[in-house]
Amino acid sequence: MKFIDEAIIEVEGGRGGDGCISFRREKYVPRGGPNGGDGGKGGDVIFETDEGKTTLMDVKYNKHFRAGHGTHGMGKNMHGKSGSDKVVKLPVGTIVIDADTNNELADLNKFPMRWVAAAGGAGGRGNASFVSSVNQAPRKAEKGKKGEKRRLLLQLKLLADVGVIGLPNAGKSTLVSTISNAKPKVADYPFTTKVPTLGLVEIPNLGSFVIVDIPGLIENAHKGAGLGLQFLRHIERTKIFLHLIDITDPMYNDATQSYKTIRSELASYSKDLLIKPEIVVLTKMDLPGALEKKKEALQNLRRVVFSDIHCISAATNEGIDALLRRVYELLEKH
């Protein structure tokens, strides 16, 4: 399934039905009065969260959502039927923004959750509703009101406990596929991961947490370089970061350079990301040359990193159990 995390749509509530002008005309009823019924209310466009959805693809290519119109009132005090609601299913984590004013309207961040995106118009009153002591036979009725109409920007921010960040080819997808039920594409070249991937990690006798694999960030990702800008929003909701560094990468001989590049991009996108707890993880300890570089990398990183540093190999499971236990401890704390 194609991953889509942003869409602009139009929503429109149904129009209310018109009120009716009618009078009783029955045999043997010499003084028939007004009996025009009210029009039915227009239907609402309702957003509803769906745990089974992880993308906005369904609404990206079907941009117009309209609820049903209310029917008109009729004689014999018969009210019109309300219009049918239009229910639009959206992934948990969808933010609704007014596309014209840029104001945030709703954050659909839990399940179940419903929110009225466009209210239907009220039905018009029939002439039976206008009877008074001074007007026993009113000859007026109201037109139904139009429903709300809006242009909305939908943005998806995935909900996960742990966000895996790092440069391209740092081993993020390999780690996620090793410790969770997610199966992201894994290959030995940069930008293997083209979309965020959610996975469930279960730790025996402890519990579980949700992890998200974010496509690799590069310098100037916050300006649109690489794939970063499109997916940076998906780590905003995470509670902690796993910051992966490949010390065998020939492009980044100094581990602190890798670390500072990612931290700079986080800060440029939102300084709030810098205060999230993180665990720095040196990956691919099974590769040739990794052990030789490990000591120097740790010495350099401890000058700039004030959090835990773990060394792992997803290929051999070295250090994985200790890392997961530490992640779980941090989640319990925060």
| Dihedral sign from CA coordinates of 133, 136, 138, 143 | positive
Considering the domain architecture, whether residues 141 and 166 belong to the same structural domain is answered as no
At 144 the three-state DSSP class reads coil
Considering the domain architecture, whether residues 116 and 192 belong to the same structural domain is answered as no
Say how far apart CA 90 and CA 46 lie, in whole Å.
10
CATH code: domain of residue 106: 2.70.210.12
Per-residue confidence (pLDDT) for residue 158, from 0 to 100:
83
At 207 the three-state DSSP class reads strand
The reply to whether 125 falls in a domain is yes
**CA 96 from centroid of its chain's CA atoms:** 9
Count CB-CB contacts under 10 A for residue 193: 23
Domain end: 106, 128, 156, which one? Answer: 156
The reply to whether 90 falls in a domain is yes
Considering the domain architecture, whether residues 170 and 308 belong to the same structural domain is answered as yes
The reply to whether 134 falls in a domain is yes
- Number of structural domains (the chain) is 2
Q: In what order do the strands lie in the sheet with 114-118?
A: 86-91, 45-50, 114-118
Q: Helices H, strands E: what count in the chain?
A: 6, 14
Per-residue confidence (pLDDT) for residue 201, from 0 to 100:
94
Per-residue confidence (pLDDT) for residue 213, from 0 to 100:
87
Burial class (CB in 10 A: 0-12, 13-18, 19+), 84: middle
**CA 323 from centroid of its chain's CA atoms:** 28
198 touches 214 (CB < 8 A)? no
125 touches 38 (CB < 8 A)? yes
Considering the domain architecture, whether residues 139 and 220 belong to the same structural domain is answered as no
One digit per residue, pLDDT tens: the chain, 334 residues?
A: 456 788 999 999 999 999 999 998 776 665 678 999 999 999 999 999 998 888 898 898 889 999 999 999 999 999 999 999 999 999 999 999 999 999 999 999 999 999 999 999 999 999 999 999 889 889 999 999 999 999 999 999 888 899 999 888 888 889 999 999 877 555 454 444 557 888 899 999 889 999 998 876 755 544 454 455 567 788 888 999 999 999 988 776 789 988 998 899 889 888 999 999 999 999 999 999 889 899 999 999 999 998 999 999 999 999 999 999 999 999 998 7
How long a stretch of residues is the chain?
334
Considering the domain architecture, whether residues 88 and 185 belong to the same structural domain is answered as no
Domain that holds residue 17: 6-156
Spatial CA neighbour of 321 closest among 310, 332, 331: 310
The reply to whether 1 falls in a domain is no
Burial class (CB in 10 A: 0-12, 13-18, 19+), 29: exposed
Domain end: 156, 188, 218, which one? Answer: 156
Radius of gyration of the chain (CA): 29
Per-residue confidence (pLDDT) for residue 197, from 0 to 100:
82
Considering the domain architecture, whether residues 214 and 262 belong to the same structural domain is answered as yes
Say how far apart CA 327 and CA 164 lie, in whole Å.
12
Considering the domain architecture, whether residues 151 and 188 belong to the same structural domain is answered as no
Considering the domain architecture, whether residues 135 and 203 belong to the same structural domain is answered as no
Query: Which pair of tokens denotes residue 324?
Result: 């997961």
Q: Which DSSP string do the residues of 172-203 spell out, in sequence order?
A: HHHHHHHHSS------SSTT---S-EEEEEEE
Burial class (CB in 10 A: 0-12, 13-18, 19+), 161: buried
pTM to 2 decimals?
Answer: 0.76
Domain end: 103, 137, 156, which one? Answer: 156
Considering the domain architecture, whether residues 85 and 210 belong to the same structural domain is answered as no
Query: Which pair of tokens denotes residue 28?
Result: 């043997």
Say how far apart CA 291 and CA 279 lie, in whole Å.
20
